[in-house]
């Protein structure tokens, strides 16, 4: 064991103990999170080293070299953020009140962060966009467009740097000028998957890469599951674009619900298996159907900050009519002429009311008077009035 681990006498800093724990136990281990909650980071490290979480973790603690880890972090310009730091996202504390999902849970012990962005500042107004790695052209295009529109509105786009929907979301945000955060299941100095290396480096250079795992760590299935809770907890809301019934995106959606964040889903074709999870979540009432950035912003923003503009169909000539005018207009024949008295009788209004309405309609070019009475203008003429 390296010299810095000797003499567990309370002289360690909380940061050093958390860094050591992050190098020893996998992120999202509920037992480790509970030890830190009860005993503090230093006390938890002592227990782990003694074998409280089992012999494998104690052996890993015995060979953990924090000096080496710190050198790796410095080489990649990586910083370690812990609770109480200015960059620590407040939303992560909600994980303390959630139940484990698939044996993962709890507040992260610390976060390894790479990139120039300010983590807490960027997640204050953020949305996570997640979905299938095997996305369709529809899903990929929609995720990119949605991310770009959110980025243009000043919203940080969070996703997991995977193929498919994740990569499309990051690229959409980058195309619009960002900001975007990649939350990964490996070290922030490890570009994974290798096919996304250029995207990874672009995000790391100008935006943010975040992980619970120390530099050099490689991904595993359980680490992806742990990563998903960070994506959900840091964001103000989560959007699922495409996802099969068994998928990591569905796991992330579960964490969004556990953290009481708005969960949104984009509909797809009823024939597309890629949209099976979004459709199921909408049908069961777990997620709100969204089709645009405006609808997402309405759900994740403070009340009244981003109200939706009511949508309506094309304007009709009758929209601006008063009730009396509409009643009279509907009583005016189009293929023949009728006297004002007959129109008033059909409309069920008095003669003065009928004449006032007819004159108002005539001023708008909707009816015309003649020697033999009144008639409505032909439909084509009415269309010209609307134009």
Task: Tell me if domain 76-300 and domain 323-386 are identical in fold.
Answer: no
What tokens were used for 120?
């807490």
Predicted local confidence at residue 301, as pLDDT: 85
Q: Which long-range contacts (CB under 8 A, 24 or more apart) does 333-339 make?
A: 333/375, 333/376, 334/375, 334/376, 334/377, 334/378, 335/375, 336/375, 337/370, 337/372, 337/373, 337/374, 337/375, 338/373, 338/374, 338/375, 339/373, 339/374
Say what the alpha-carbon torsion angle 181, 187, 191, 194 is, to the nearest 10 degrees: -120
The DSSP symbol for 365 reads T
Angle between helices 165-175 and 137-152 (to 10 degrees): 40
Q: What confidence score (pLDDT) does residue 381 get?
A: 44
What 3-state DSSP class applies to 214? coil
Range 50-53, long-range pairs (CB < 8 A, 24+ positions): 53/25, 53/29
The CATH classification of domain 76-300, taken from the options 3.40.50.450, 3.40.50.300, 3.30.450.40, 3.40.30.10 = 3.40.50.450
Instruction: With H, G, I as helix, E, B as strand and everything else as coil, classify residue 307.
Output: coil
| pLDDT for residue 379 | 55
| Nearest alpha carbon to residue 125 among 270, 250, 272, 293 | 293
Q: What is the pLDDT of residue 9?
A: 46
User: What pTM does this model have?
Assistant: 0.80
Residues β-bridged to residue 119: none
State residue 50 phi and psi, 5-degree precision: -80, -10
How many other C-beta atoms are found inside a 10 Å radius of the C-beta of residue 280?
15
Q: Where are the domains of the chain?
A: 1-69, 76-300, 323-386
Phi, psi of 58 (to 5 degrees): -65, -40
Token couple for 76: 């990649």
CA distance 105 to 96: 8
Residues 327-360 pLDDT 10s: 999 999 988 999 999 999 999 999 999 999 999 9
DSSP secondary structure letters along 130-151: E--SS--HHHHHHHHHHHHHHH
Helix (H) or strand (E) segment spanning residue 79 = strand 78-81
The pLDDT tens digits for 253-300 are: 999 999 999 999 999 999 999 999 999 999 999 999 999 999 999 999
For residue 32, how many other CB atoms are within 10 A of its CB? 24
Report the C-alpha gap between 327 and 348 in whole angstroms.
8
Please name the fold of domain 323-386: Arc Repressor Mutant, subunit A (1.10.10)
Query: Distances from the Cα of 368 to the Cαs of 37, 345, 358, in angstroms?
Result: 82, 19, 8
pLDDT per residue of the chain (387 residues) written in tens, 0 to 9: 333 344 344 456 899 999 999 999 999 999 999 999 999 999 999 999 999 888 888 999 999 999 999 999 999 999 999 999 999 999 999 999 999 999 999 999 999 999 999 999 999 999 999 999 999 999 999 999 999 999 999 999 999 999 999 999 999 999 999 899 999 999 999 999 999 999 999 999 999 999 999 999 999 999 999 999 999 999 999 999 999 888 889 999 999 999 999 999 999 999 999 999 999 999 999 999 999 999 999 999 875 565 655 565 677 778 889 999 999 999 999 889 999 999 999 999 999 999 999 999 999 889 999 989 999 987 544 444 443
Cis peptide before 193 (omega within 30 of 0): yes
264 bridge partner residues: 239, 288
Report d(CA 368, CA 375) in Å as an integer.
6
Q: 126-141 in b/e burial notation, b at 16+ Cβ within 10 A?
A: bbbbbbbbebbebbbe
């Amino acid at each position: 064991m390296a010299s810095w681990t000797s003499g567990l006498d309370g002289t360690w800093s909380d940061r050093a103990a958390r860094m050591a724990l992050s190098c020893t136990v996998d992120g999202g281990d509920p037992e480790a999170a509970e030890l830190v909650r009860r005993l503090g980071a230093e006390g938890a490290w002592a227990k782990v080293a003694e074998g409280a979480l089992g012999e494998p973790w104690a052996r890993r603690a015995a060979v953990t070299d924090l000096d080496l880890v710190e050198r790796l972090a410095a080489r990649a310009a990586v910083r370690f953020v812990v609770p109480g730091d200015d960059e620590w996202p407040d939303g992560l504390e909600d994980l303390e009140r959630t139940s484990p999902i698939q044996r993962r849970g709890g507040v992260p012990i610390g976060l390894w962060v790479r990139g120039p962005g300010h983590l807490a500042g960027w997640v204050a107004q953020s949305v996570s966009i997640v979905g299938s790695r095997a996305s369709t052209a529809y899903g990929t295009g929609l995720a990119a467009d949605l991310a770009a529109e959110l980025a243009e509105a000043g919203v940080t786009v969070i996703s997991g740097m995977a193929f498919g929907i994740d990569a499309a979301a990051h690229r959409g945000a980058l195309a619009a000028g960002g900001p975007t955060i990649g939350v990964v299941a490996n070290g922030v100095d490890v570009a994974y998957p290798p096919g996304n290396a250029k995207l990874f480096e672009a995000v790391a250079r100008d935006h943010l890469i975040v992980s619970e795992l120390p530099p050099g760590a490689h991904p595993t299935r359980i680490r992806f599951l742990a990563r998903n809770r960070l994506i959900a907890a840091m964001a103000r809301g989560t959007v699922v674009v495409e996802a099969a019934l068994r998928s990591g995106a569905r796991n992330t959606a579960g964490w969004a619900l556990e953290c009481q964040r708005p969960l949104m889903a984009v509909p797809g074709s009823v024939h597309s298996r890629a949209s099976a999870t979004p459709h199921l979540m909408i049908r069961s009432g777990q997620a709100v159907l969204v089709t645009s950035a405006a609808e997402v912003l309405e759900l994740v923003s403070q009340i009244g900050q981003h109200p939706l503009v009511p949508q309506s169909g094309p304007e009709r000539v009758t929209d601006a009519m008063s009730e009396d005018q509409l009643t009279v207009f509907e009583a005016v024949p189009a293929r023949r002429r009728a006297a004002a008295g007959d129109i008033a009788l059909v409309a069920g209004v008095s003669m003065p009311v009928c004449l006032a309405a007819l004159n108002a309609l005539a001023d708008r070019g909707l009816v015309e008077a003649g020697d033999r009475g009144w008639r409505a203008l032909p439909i084509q003429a009415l269309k010209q009035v609307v134009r």
